[in-house]
Amino acid sequence: MEARFSRTPAYLQNRDFHNRNTLHIQKTEAKPEPKKKTVKTVKVLATGYTAGYESTGKKPSHPQYGITFSGVKVRRDKDTVSTIAADLKVFPIGTILYIPGYGYGVVADKGSAIKGKKIDLYFDTTKQVYKEWGKKEVEVQIVREGTGKLTEAMLKELGKAMEVSKEIPEDLWDKAI
């Protein structure tokens, strides 16, 4: 509670007949500070990958072609969230990162060459990997730490929510992603 002191009550202010020596105390509720999410920034080496043979060793005829370690299909969606690969000891499955120049990525995969502070960003074609990204050192924001679990349903819900708000909605902070 905050106390504001006024010699004159509000209903008598701007009137000529009040006693200026009377002290009135008006109590007001202090508004609590809004809860803010702490966003951690980490410098990583970011490369690009595809679902193709050159990145995964799998051909389109392989039953696991385009399927990540978490079990979800790879995807690149500049408007919502894309799948990315990381060292799961650094960024567990389900971790949501904001990558400048790429957008939001959710860790859904791991890679044999992805160790430490390295991430692999999914693209549909190798042409896109080289034209749009290549190999860059970037500062990423950890928007949400993963729980080690990611499903198609979770990814779909996250994507739908982001279509509306263009960012990770606050009401998804407490849901298990």
pLDDT of 34: 41
56 three-class SS? helix
Taking the CB of residue 93, how many other CB atoms lie within 10 A of it?
Answer: 22
CATH superfamily of 40-165: RlpA-like domain (2.40.40.10)
> What is the number of other CB atoms lying within 10 angstroms of the CB of residue 161?
18
Least confident of 37-41, 63-67, 118-122: 37-41
Residue 55 predicted with pLDDT over 50 = yes
Instruction: Render pLDDT for 115-174 as a digit per residue (tens, 0 to 9).
Output: 999 999 999 999 999 999 999 999 999 999 999 999 999 998 888 888 776 666 565 545
pTM attached to this predicted model: 0.73
- What pLDDT score was predicted for residue 35? 43
DSSP label at residue 103:
E
